[in-house]
Amino acid sequence: MTLPHIDGAIRDGRHHMQVRVYYEDTDFSGIVYHANYLRFMERGRTNHLRLMGAEQNALFEEAQEETGGFAFVVRSMTLDFLKPARMDDMLDVVTWPIAVKGASIMLAQEVRRGDDVLVKAQVRVAFVSQGRAQPIPKSIRALMKADMA
């Protein structure tokens, strides 16, 4: 079930999702703990797929028919922490695909507060089946490339 007010929105080929910073997201100094940005970005990637019409459960069932026993795994990630976020900040998690190749998808992500970019990331997600990288199923490849146009 897609809930745009919760799942965010796709504008100009980029997924935008709002996240409020809570006390539990911060460290002893009152700024967002670095690992929590990974959680925010994971939610952004998941909701990006959902708003493109690919709720993960349905997508997994369809891909399971094409390639049994598969999973998406984060293969690599680079992050630049530029500025801190603090409790009660409203953040915009922005996600967009850069490339869809063979067995992986490269995504760019930013966590923003207004016009300020706080964190930049590039994430390579690999498609793995039976313990090995496999070509991404056509249904997923078509979905991601459609968003890149």
Active site residues: 27
Question: How far is it, in rounded angstroms, from Cα 130 to Cα 123?
Answer: 22
Tokens 């995504």 correspond to 107
b/e sequence 96-113, b meaning 16+ C-beta within 10 Å: bbeebeeebbebebbbbb
Element holding 18 (H helix, E strand): strand 14-20
Q: Are 118 and 85 in contact (CB under 8 A)?
A: yes
